[in-house]
Structure 1
Amino acid sequence: MSLTVLARGDDWIVIDKPAGLLVHKSALARDRDVVLTRLRDQLGQHVFPVHRLDRPTTGCLAFGLDSEGARKLQEALQAGQKTYLTLVRGQAEALDGQVIDRPLNGEGGGERK
């Protein structure tokens, strides 16, 4: 199954990561079918992951097509602001958008899951 390419430049690519796949192999999960391997095989070249998304998460995933492309993407991600959109099931108390501005690390009352 090929990955959907959302955008591509000379030295970078952004794909739509499907839910259920790891970005790369790890010591805790030695899945053979991972995004990194799929994309490498699909493009016929080595790719450099710039960030991760958890296995159950779907979304945009950026890769450098060479080390320089990966470096530029990492710098852009570090210099910018990340915005996350989460879809949940159930009743919402308010219909308008809300900004939750709390840390996820447990400091300041936030909870990390």
Structure 2
Amino acid sequence: AAALEQGAGVQPFAAMAVAYRLGEEGQPHGQILFQYAEPSAAENDLAPRRLLAESGVSLVTGKPYAATLFTVTDAGVDDDTLAMTVEPVDGKARRLFDMVYRRDLLFAVCP
């Protein structure tokens, strides 16, 4: 709840995508992308959205995302897109897709 309160100020986004790729060492590297109507909305959303992803608590387990699903390793904005690079816990890419299927997406709250 504290992360959600601190994450207040998130911007509405038009689309969200979750994907992963395999790195050279065979480990999955995830991407969580948000697209906005305007580049300024993506820029304004970077800090609060990253805070929710880094400090948020799973709606399913009640435990921090960082302990159960993923850790954020990088985040940035390119034009109207906010991109977070994430590492799934224990290197299991399926965690990212299970998160979507279960709608365990507190960090993706959209006002």
TM-score normalised by structure 2 residue count: 0.32
More strand by share: 2
More helix by share: 2
TM-score normalised by structure 1 residue count: 0.32
